[in-house]
Structure 1
Amino acid sequence: EATEGLAPLLRAQIWAVLAQIKALGQTVLVIDKYVEQLIAIADQHTVIERGRVIWQGRSAELAGRRDLLRRSLGV
């Protein structure tokens, strides 16, 4: 996970760098449990549970799937 165990300031810096990379048109694969930050930065999301893809979609769709977020991610 990209920001696991980091202080909030360092975590914020990583998210800022990821946003800059996206603005440059680069593709990045990020695995992290901080879904709100991922929704703000990523275009596409894949939720994997026990080794299987259980959902794929865009940020707006994921933001609206609170049931999925609670079930799979505990948020």
Structure 2
Amino acid sequence: MNNVDLVEKKDLFKVAEEFQNILGYEKRYFMILGLEGSGVKDFSQCLMDQAVKKPWEVDAFTMNEEVMKNISLEVVREG
């Protein structure tokens, strides 16, 4: 949950309880203050812990047709 500083704590805990009652929802949630960065480190670490560790399929410095296409699309979008 982001922007938790905008909600009163009593209301925030009610929302957190509602999340826990959703079928199939993991019982772990993160209260994040985006502007302050509070909670971001824990959230990032959780994602890293769940990530599948395997070798990269393509070298980071390899240019292929798809990479060039994506760069071109970004340039056009930004322009």
For normalisation by structure 1, the TM-score amounts to 0.35
More strand by share: 1
Larger Rg: 2
For normalisation by structure 2, the TM-score amounts to 0.34
